[in-house]
């Protein structure tokens, strides 16, 4: 059985549209990054420091009443998030720079008083000091930098330098776009999300490598074709694989997104977005970038030659 | 060809069998383990007989990161030397104008008469770790050497780890983890803990027990009033007793003017246990002192009948009973409106001993057991559904070849769990995500190979040569994509903390396994098919 047979789509012809869309999405991602660095984004307490408490009541609760109770415990800036069903709550208080212990206990106590007829259990509570948060931020940054550096060098060694740079640009593109979408959605950026971003970096890279591999192979076997033809043919040749893999993986992660529980929901959302964006970028961004770069290089080389000739 | 195939087939078979034997202890139905497993165990490199352990996020529990205030440890060490020097100087009958700690690392000593210089120098000679600089004929400034500071800080952290371990052991937690991390940090993991607040109090409490005399001058109300305004008389300090209501909330604080000098500290305790006061029926902590402690206690109480002796724990006065008569046996009790649990915990920390330096809790991650179970159930459900989806898509789209790929996925999973059991890894939620991602990679490898084989078939090649070319051409791509994924996993492992590391480890293991199953595992089946003279490939 085959979903798509032999195709002959002119992917390079769509590069202007693709570049425009990508530039816009990447700009959102860059803006999100700037906001994260400035501390204006919705950073999880594992990065920003602070306290979070997740409780489950026996009966649904009224948010306003919870809010009052939290304000009474001395944390009026506490944020609330209610899960499906209404009896599950997530309370978060950002770091105030003070030592961490006691905040969760204070909130619990106030809730117990306010909801004496509606008992609850604490499902999880996290208290993270600001020092740890800063360290984690730094560690995450290092992890991203080192993995990118490693990947560029590997691809540059296996293919050529230009491919390495383009693969990195495409990977950055994917990470930034997903980060931007998360930022726009207002979803919390936690350590787990950073893990998801790095995972999708690896995933989108695989996609790109598969296409590049085919281009490299065709460089050897189809010497007579023009560069544009060669790249288009390569993308078309691996297209069924790209779609098949993406669909299968997407299906699996969709199951985790729908059934995996709250803890894994944002994580799997990031991965799903990553697969979609990664597939798109390997077809519409990475290879066209290689084409652009090569063509410009060639045009310049030709220009230099003409200049050299005119001098004689 | 045939022999090579047999060799590869047995390699796959052995890998599968080994992994299965390694997972056996983790399969619920097999506990207790069957008798034969024990005989097989030495033959299969003796895997651990315990099941794969679950991380705190899955089974519930508490993860604490403590930071030791090592500067305070230095301060305490210097303070102790001040007390020693004071004792020695007084013993020689030298009159001291001033003796005090300066900053955290210096001691300043000033004597009134120059002729005592020689004697003072002899005493200070006992402290070679302190560099001496004279600020005048009668003044001495001692500075603790950098090396000694490092030793004190190091010991403080080590001893803290030891004390905390003792406390946790006495508290009774199953499989706790107490581990030093970096220079000043201690990580404490308590699986399945029910009352996190209580555990924090038990672990984080310094539990420095001190006995101090209430200052005679506090009989004069005015002096106490002045002291409260900040004019504390020489050699005295103000400490408070917290007054609690029946719910355990602080309703009032009573100030005490105490002598700064400590009569005795908790070091001399030999036992501490919970008793019930026969009069009030409230729990109290009864303690006994060692022989030397009992002697000092007897002397002090004998000399100060009628005065009040304060029992101070971590800078809070618990009680300040009037000494009725000399207390000889070295026994006493601490009262203070304890709950039975509170009294029990205090007894534990007193027995285990005070922390040599205070600790701050800089991170506390607690997962309740119910959320852990929910996460497992949801995670397992989702994985099963995801697995079924992937397996059916592969079988539907690639027919027989898809079924072969599905078998490879199963082998992948079994080997993954086998290795996790073998290295005694802890399975966390991100770890499960890592396994899921590995499955995704495995699917991708098979899709790559199958699409390649299809292409070759379309070109009109025979089954045998299509399989050969398909594998060899896809291999290059698979290697490239797996190595880049491995680079990411390594970066995550190097810079990630706990949960991220778990993810990185499962991902890295999965990548390596997948290289094996995708290229050797499925290949064995296809080669066997072609060897039997199959003319058409169901792909």
Name the residue facing A100 among B363, B385, B499 (closest C-beta): B363
Instruction: Give the pLDDT of residue A309.
Output: 53
* Least CB–CB distance from A264: residue in B361, B397, B429: B429
What ranges do the domains of chain A cover?
A: 12-41+132-304, 50-128
Residue B189 domain-assigned (yes or no): no
What do you get for the CA distance between the two ends of chain A, in Å? 63
- Both structure tokens of B13: 């078979």
Residue ending a domain, among B366, B400, B415, is B366
pLDDT value at residue A100: 57
**Under 8 Å CB-to-CB from B396, ≥6 apart: which residues?**
A1, B402
Q: What is the pLDDT of residue A81?
A: 77
Q: Which residues of B touch A121 (CB under 8 A)?
A: 368, 370
Contact at CB, B488 and A199, closer than 8 angstroms: yes
Give the pLDDT mean for B489-509.
Answer: 82
Considering only CB atoms, B447 lies closest to which of A147, A241, A267, namely A241
- Percent with pLDDT over 70 in chain A: 90
Establish whether domains A12-41+132-304 and A50-128 are of one fold: no
* CATH number of the structural domain spanning residue B227: 3.30.1360.200
Q: Say whether A199 and B507 touch across the interface (CB within 8 A).
A: yes
- CA dist B44 and B29 (Å) reads 21
Q: Across chain B, what does the average pLDDT equal?
A: 86
The minimal CB distance from A206 to the residues B383, B484, B497 is found for B484
For residue B214, is pLDDT > 90?
yes
CB within 8 Å: B492 and A147: yes
Residue contact B368–A122, C-beta within 8 A: yes
For residues B380 and B453, membership in a common domain is answered with yes
Query: 3-class SS at B311?
Result: strand
How many domains does chain B fold into?
3
Contacts of A143 in chain B (CB under 8 A): 491-492, 494-496, 500
Are B405 and B517 found together in one domain? Answer: yes
Same domain, B237 and B337: yes
CA distance B191 to B54: 9
In a domain, B171, yes or no: no
In a domain, B527, yes or no: yes
Q: Per-residue pLDDT tens for B417-467?
A: 999 998 888 888 778 778 877 887 888 899 999 999 998 998 899 989 999
Coil vs helix vs strand at B284: strand
Name which of A124, A214, A267 is nearest B433 (Cβ-Cβ): A267
Q: How confident is the model at residue A311 (pLDDT cuts 50, 70, 90)?
A: very low
Task: Print the domain residue range for B459.
Answer: 2-54+369-531
Contact B393 A56 (CB under 8 A): no
pTM comes to 0.76
pLDDT digits (tens, 9 = 90+) for B291-328: 988 998 999 899 999 899 999 988 889 888 888 888 88
Quick check: B415 pLDDT over 60? yes
Q: Which residue of A has its CA nearest to B482?
A: A206
Mean pLDDT on B221-249: 83
Instruction: Please report, for the domain that includes residue B103, its CATH number.
Output: 3.30.70.3080
The β-bridge relationship of strands B236-244 and B316-319 is: parallel
Return d(Cα B86, Cα B99) in angstroms, integer.
Answer: 7
B261-266 average pLDDT score: 84
Residue A90 has pLDDT above 80, yes or no: yes
Residue A301 pLDDT: 58
- Indicate whether B219 and B345 sit together in one domain: yes
B64 falls within a domain: no
Cβ contact, residue pair B488, A56, below 8 Å: no
Query: Is A50-128 CATH 3.30.70.3400?
Result: yes
Q: Do B436 and A132 touch (CB under 8 A)?
A: no
Name the residue among A104, A121, A150 with its Cβ closest to that of B370: A121
Q: Are residues B358 and B411 in the same domain?
A: no
Q: Between chains, do A264 and B378 touch, taking CB under 8 Å as contact?
A: yes
- Which of B62-66, B231-235, B528-532 is predicted most confidently? B62-66
Q: Which among A121, A143, A270 is the top mutation candidate for probing chain B, defined by the most B β-carbons within 10 Å of its own β-carbon?
A: A143
Q: Note whether B488 and B400 are same-domain residues.
A: yes
Span A34-52, mean pLDDT? Answer: 83
> Cβ separation of A252 and B387 shorter than 8 Å?
yes
Residues B226 and B262 in one domain: yes
d(CA A47, CA A39): 10
Distances (CA, A) of B480 to A211, B99, B234: 11, 71, 76
Contacts of A150 in chain B (CB under 8 A): 487-488, 490-491
Spell out which residues of chain A touch residue B397, defining contact as CB-CB under 8 Å.
1, 3, 244
Query: What is each CA distance from A99 to A51, A95, A127, B346, in whole angstroms?
Result: 11, 9, 9, 23
Q: Average pLDDT of B40-63?
A: 82
Q: Are residues B216 and B357 in the same domain?
A: yes
The per-residue pLDDT for range A105-157, each reduced to its tens digit, is 888 888 888 888 888 888 888 888 888 878 887 887 888 788 878 888 888 88
Q: Give B491 to chain A, closest Cα distance, Å.
A: 5
Structure confidence at residue A236 as a pLDDT band (50, 70, 90): very high
> Cα(A296)–Cα(A240) distance, rounded to whole angstroms?
30
Residue of A129, A202, A256 lying closest to B386 (CB–CB): A256
Domain's final residue, options B104, B132, B148: B148
The predicted-structure confidence for B127-186, as pLDDT tens digits, reads as follows: 989 888 877 788 889 999 999 999 999 999 999 999 999 889 888 787 888 989 888 999
Residue B220 lies in a domain: yes
CATH number listed for the domain at residues A12-41+132-304: 1.20.1640.10
The pLDDT assigned to B25 comes to 84
Distance from CA of B455 to the nearest CA of A (A): 9
A169-194 pLDDT tens trace: 898 899 999 999 999 998 888 878 88
Task: Read off the pLDDT of residues A292-308 as tens digits, 9 standing for 90 and up.
Answer: 988 887 766 555 555 55
Mean pLDDT of B8-19: 90
B224 & B354 share domain: yes
The burial class, CB within 10 Å (0-12 / 13-18 / 19+), for B234 is: exposed
Tell if the CB–CB gap between A247 and B429 is shorter than 8 Å. Answer: no
- Residues B284, B395: one domain? no
| Same domain assignment for residues B319 and B274 | yes
- The answer, yes or no, to whether residue A85 has pLDDT greater than 70, is no
Query: What confidence score (pLDDT) does residue A306 get?
Result: 54
Residue B21: which CATH number?
Answer: 1.20.1640.10
Same domain, B248 and B282: yes
> Is B477 in Cβ contact with A213 (below 8 Å)?
yes
């Amino acid at each position: 059985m085959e979903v798509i047979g032999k195709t002959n789509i002119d992917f390079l012809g769509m590069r202007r549209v693709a570049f425009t869309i990508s530039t816009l999405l990447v700009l959102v991602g860059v803006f999100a990054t700037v906001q994260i660095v400035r501390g204006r984004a919705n950073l999880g307490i594992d990065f920003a420091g602070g306290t979070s408490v997740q409780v489950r009541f026996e009966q649904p609760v009224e948010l306003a009443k919870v809010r009052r109770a939290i304000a009474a415990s001395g944390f009026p800036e506490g944020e609330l998030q209610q899960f499906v069903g209404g009896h599950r709550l997530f309370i978060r208080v950002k770091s105030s720079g003070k030592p961490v212990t006691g905040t969760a206990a204070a909130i619990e106590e106030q809730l117990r008083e306010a909801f004496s007829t509606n008992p609850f259990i604490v499902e999880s509570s996290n208290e993270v000091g600001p020092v740890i948060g800063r360290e984690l931020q730094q560690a995450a940054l290092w992890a991203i930098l080192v993995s990118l550096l490693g990947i560029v060098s590997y691809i540059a060694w296996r293919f050529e330098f230009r491919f390495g740079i383009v693969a990195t640009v495409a990977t950055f593109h994917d990470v930034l776009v997903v980060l931007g979408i998360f930022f726009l959605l207002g979803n919390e950026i936690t350590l787990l999300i950073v893990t998801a971003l790095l995972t999708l970096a690896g995933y989108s890279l695989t996609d790109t490598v598969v296409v590049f591999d085919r281009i490299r192979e065709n460089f050897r076997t189809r010497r007579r074709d023009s560069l544009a033809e060669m790249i288009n043919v390569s993308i078309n040749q691996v297209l069924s694989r790209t779609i098949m893999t993406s669909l299968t993986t997407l299906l699996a992660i969709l199951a985790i997104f729908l059934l995996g529980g709250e803890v894994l929901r944002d994580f799997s959302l990031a991965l799903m977005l990553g697969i979609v964006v990664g597939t798109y970028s390997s077809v519409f961004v990475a290879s066209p970038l290689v084409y652009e770069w090569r063509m410009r290089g060639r045009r310049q080389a030709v220009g230099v030659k003409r200049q050299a000739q005119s001098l004689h | 060809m045939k022999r090579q195939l047999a060799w590869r087939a047995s390699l796959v078979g052995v890998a599968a069998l080994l992994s299965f034997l390694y997972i056996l202890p983790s399969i619920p139905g097999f506990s207790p383990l069957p008798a034969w497993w024990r005989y097989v165990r030495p033959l299969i490199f003796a895997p651990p007989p315990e099941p794969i352990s679950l991380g705190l996020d899955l089974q519930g529990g508490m993860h604490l990161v403590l930071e030791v205030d090592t500067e305070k440890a230095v301060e305490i060490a210097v303070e102790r030397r001040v007390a020693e020097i004071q004792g020695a100087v007084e013993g020689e009958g030298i009159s001291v104008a001033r003796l005090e700690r300066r900053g955290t690392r210096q001691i300043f000593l000033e004597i009134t008469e120059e002729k005592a210089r020689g004697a003072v120098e002899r005493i200070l000679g006992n402290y070679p770790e302190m560099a001496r600089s004279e600020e005048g004929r009668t003044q001495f400034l001692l500075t603790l050497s950098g090396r000694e500071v490092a030793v004190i800080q190091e010991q403080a952290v080590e001893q803290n780890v030891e004390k905390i371990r003792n406390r946790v052991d006495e508290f009774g937690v199953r499989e706790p983890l107490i581990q030093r991390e970096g220079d000043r940090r201690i990580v404490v993991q308590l699986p399945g803990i029910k009352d996190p607040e209580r555990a924090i109090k038990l672990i984080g409490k310094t539990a420095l027990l001190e006995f101090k005399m209430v200052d005679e001058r506090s009989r004069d109300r005015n002096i106490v009033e002045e002291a409260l305004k900040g004019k504390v008389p020489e050699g005295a300090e103000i400490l408070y007793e917290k007054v609690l209501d029946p719910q355990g909330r602080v309703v009032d604080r009573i100030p005490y003017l105490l002598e700064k000098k400590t009569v005795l500290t908790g070091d001399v305790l030999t036992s501490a246990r919970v008793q019930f006061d026969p009069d009030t029926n409230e729990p109290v902590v009864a303690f006994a002192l060692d022989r030397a402690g009992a002697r000092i206690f007897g002397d002090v109480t004998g000399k100060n009948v009628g005065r009040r002796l304060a029992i101070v724990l971590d800078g809070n006065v618990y009680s300040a009973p009037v000494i009725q008569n000399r207390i000889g046996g070295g026994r006493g009790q601490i009262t203070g409106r304890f709950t039975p649990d509170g009294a029990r915990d205090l007894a534990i920390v007193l027995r285990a001993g005070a922390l040599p330096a205070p600790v701050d809790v800089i991170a506390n991650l607690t997962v309740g057991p119910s959320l852990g179970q929910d996460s497992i159930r949801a995670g397992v459900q989702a994985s099963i559904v995801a697995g079924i989806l992937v397996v059916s898509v592969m079988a539907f789209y690639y027919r027989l070849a898809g079924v072969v790929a599905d078998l490879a996925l199963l082998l992948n999973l079994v080997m993954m769990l086998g290795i996790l059991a073998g290295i005694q890894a802890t399975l966390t939620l991100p770890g499960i995500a890592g396994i899921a991602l590995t499955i995704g990679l495995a699917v991708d490898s098979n899709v790559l190979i199958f699409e390649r084989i299809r292409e070759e078939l379309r070109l009109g090649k025979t089954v045998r040569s299509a399989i050969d070319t398909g594998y060899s051409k896809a291999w290059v791509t698979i290697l490239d994509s797996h190595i880049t994924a491995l680079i990411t996993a390594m970066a995550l492992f190097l810079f990630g903390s706990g949960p991220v590391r778990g993810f990185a480890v499962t991902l890295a293991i999965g990548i390596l396994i997948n290289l094996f199953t995708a290229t050797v595992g499925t290949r064995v089946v296809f080669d066997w098919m072609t060897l039997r003279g199959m003319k058409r490939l169901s792909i």
